[in-house]
Amino acid sequence: MLVARDRMPGAGRGGRGPPEPDEIVDGSTRLDTVNGNVEEAIGALGALLGDRLSTSAPVRDLHGHDESAFPDAPPDAVAFPRTTEEVAAIVRTCTELGVPVVAFGTGSSLEGHILAVEGGVVLDTSLMDQILRVSIEDLDVTVQPGVTRTVLEKRVGGEGAFFSVDPGADASLGGMAATGASGTNTVRYGTMRENVLALEVVLAGGRVIRTGTRARKSSAGYDLTHLFIGSEGTLGIITELTLRLRPIPEAISAAVCSFPTTQDAVGTAIAIVQSGVPIARCELLDATMMRAVNAHSELGRAEAPTLFLEFHGTPAGVEEDARYVEELAREHGAGDFAWSVKTEDRSRLWRARHNAYFAGIGLRPGCRVLTTDVCVPVSELAATIDATIADVADLPFPAPLLGHVGDGNFHVMLLIDPDDPEDRRLAEAAYERIVDRAIAVGGTCTGEHGVGLGKRRALGAQSGEAIEVMRALKLALDPSDCLNPGKVLPEPQHSST
Ligand SMILES: Cc1cc2nc3c(=O)[nH]c(=O)nc-3n(C[C@H](O)[C@H](O)[C@H](O)COP(=O)(O)OP(=O)(O)OC[C@H]3O[C@@H](n4cnc5c(N)ncnc54)[C@H](O)[C@@H]3O)c2cc1C
């Protein structure tokens, strides 16, 4: 999803405007061209942070590059705050000077979210890495935003608890809240939206607010916590999160089975969800993705559409669930249903699933990936996946498909040669068709990756008049448009009259 130069956000803003193409390619040229406000901000932030403010080209380049296929866009400086007070001071300074501030967790987002398309300061939260409080009694935890999900997992795992949201990357919890992330456990435990209880947020101008409480439910006023979840750093910077934990189940079993066709695999997934079996994970990998995963993780499974499944509960319960699902799978043609309660078998399976993105890239070394992320009502899943497979079948590059099908969410990885304009054209067109097809059946353009730069048009198409309410919220909370400018909201449509 390359953005044409004249579509780059920021064109026409009073501020610095879009970077020139040579600046994007070669981040080292950026500082020669910064405007006075940025220089002033860098001076003030340098005095505040010392060597935790960097203007070096390698550091800026690292923070102007993500996993998307957009061109790199490095910031003018990178700040590494440790405390909420430092975040507030950075945001205050930048807001007063009209300098963009882009929050950065681990940079694993997939739609150009963290690219500094208007320059400015990237605020890297990696030093805000403290787990501030753990309550096993209440099954909740309070963390700074730079704590990653695997660090939290290690900390609470020994105490019999886990945090359920597990995107494929070891993302920061601040970034996960900001993108409304989810993962393989979502069908049972929900997304970030269901697992964040409270937030501390620094608003434009530097004001600090707290949203939500540690209570499990509340009817108290507007739900500001959920306003910030999925806001992608455009409404405020999250400086603290209170999250729900879950007890580690007494028994866990994992199962894997392959099918003659993708339709059979999807049909099984739908039957599982509709039967009410409390499935904890239900993941589809198509035959191309299984080829990639076999090569990458040495799974040795059939190169056929495959479901990875997991059940949580009591020993008797998980066995009963697995046996019931085995019957459903066999009715849909599965021939090799295998299940196990052994930790090493489960770990191997889910490690392979979590590495599927990198396995997919291995199908075409040197490629860049356009990843689709639609989510549809489960009743529409079979037809939508069918149409998608037919749509991408003739593309001249690999397009493996995988998905959290228990949620109705699936991804097609469009593996393009970044230097081939025809690859890009074909991939972008397929990407838009897949998005429009999902919206047409009552689905969403993004189930979990978020909007960033890549899905702004689609968000407009999906939201109708509600996009104007989103614009009003942005204007109310960030009137000078300093927080991650150019992201999420599509350019306003001007009438020609
Ligand atoms: C291999 C791979 C697998 C993936 N699998 C999944 C998956 O299964 N499910 C899924 O949901 N995603 C997945 N993703 C996408 C990505 O991991 C998620 O979007 C993740 O939530 C991003 O977290 P991050 O810390 O990397 O955030 P970043 O990429 O650093 O930032 C993402 C956005 O959040 C904003 N942000 C970051 N921190 C803050 C903060 N403290 N306050 C306010 N805004 C902030 C940024 O400005 C940006 O707009 C995958 C990515 C990769 C590369």
d(CA 125, CA 145): 6
What ligand 1 atom has the least distance to the C-alpha of 452? 49
| Distance between Cα 450 and ligand 1 center (Å) | 9
- Tell me the CA–centroid distance for residue 181 and ligand 1, in Å: 7
d(C-alpha 345, C-alpha 356), whole Å = 17
**How far apart are the C-alpha atoms of 120 and 37, rounded to whole Å?**
9
Cite the DSSP H helix spans in 98-180. Answer: 149-157, 173-179
Give 316-323's long-range contacts (Cβ < 8 A, gap of 24+).
317/251, 318/249, 318/251, 318/252, 318/253, 319/253, 321/253, 321/277, 321/278, 321/279, 322/253, 322/255
Low-confidence ranges of the chain (pLDDT < 50): 1-34, 496-497
Residue from 179, 231, 446 to probe ligand 1 pocket by mutation (most atoms less than 8 Å from CB): 179
For ligand 1, the distance from its centroid to the CA atom of residue 107, given in whole angstroms, is: 6
Global model pTM greater than 0.75:
yes
- Which tokens is 317 given? 């319960």
Pairing of strands 251-258, 306-313: antiparallel
Q: What is the pLDDT of residues 390-405, one digit of tens each?
A: 999 999 999 999 999 9
Q: Would you tell me the crossing angle of helices 378-392 and 262-275 to the nearest 10 degrees? A: 170
Question: What is the residue with the minimal CA distance to atom 37 of ligand 1?
Answer: 175
Find all residues with CB under 8 Å of 465, minimum gap 6, and list them. Answer: none
Take residue 396 and report the two structure tokens written for it: 């001249």
What pLDDT does 492 receive?
A: 80
DSSP-derived pairing of the beta strands 77-79 and 121-124 = parallel
Protein residue with least CA distance to atom 24, ligand 1: 175
Confidence (pLDDT) at 335:
85
| Ligand 1 binding pocket, CB closer than 6 Å | 67, 102-110, 113-114, 125, 145, 167-169, 171-172, 174-176, 178-179, 181-183, 232-233, 237-238, 357, 448-450, 484
Query: Closest residue (by CA) to atom 20 of ligand 1?
Result: 176
The closest residue, in CA terms, to atom 6 on ligand 1 is: 167
Nearby residues of 390 by Cβ (< 8 Å), 6 or more positions away = none
Strand ranges inside 193-278, DSSP E: 196-202, 208-212, 237-244, 246-247, 251-258
Phi, psi of 113 (to 5 degrees): -55, -45
Neighbours of 16 (CB within 10 A): 20
Residue closest via CA to ligand 1's atom 38 equals 175
Structure tokens at 439: 């919206």
- The whole-angstrom separation of Cα 471 and Cα 478 is 10
Which residue puts its alpha carbon closest to atom 53 of ligand 1?
108
Give the SS3 label for residue 493. Answer: coil
Residue 69 pLDDT: 86
Q: Are the C-beta atoms of residues 399 and 379 closer than 8 Å to each other? A: no
Give the distance (Å) from ligand 1 centre to CA of residue 246. Answer: 22
Give the pLDDT score at 497. 43
Q: Which of 192, 191, 211, 186 is nearest to 200 (CA)?
A: 211
Q: Which atom of ligand 1 is nearest to the CA of 172?
A: 25
Ligand 1 pocket test target in 106, 108, 115, 117 with most atoms within 8 Å of CB: 108
**Which of helix, strand or coil describes residue 171?**
coil
Measuring from atom 11 of ligand 1, which residue has the nearest CA?
A: 181
Compute the distance between CA of residue 281 and CA of residue 309 in angstroms, rounded to an integer. 5
Spell 383-413 as b/e; 16+ CB within 10 A means b.
Answer: ebbeebbebbeebebbbbbbbbbbbbbbbbb
Query: Which pLDDT does position 238 carry in this prediction?
Result: 99
Check residue 495 and give its pLDDT.
53
Q: Please name the residue whose Cα sits nearest to atom 19 of ligand 1.
A: 109
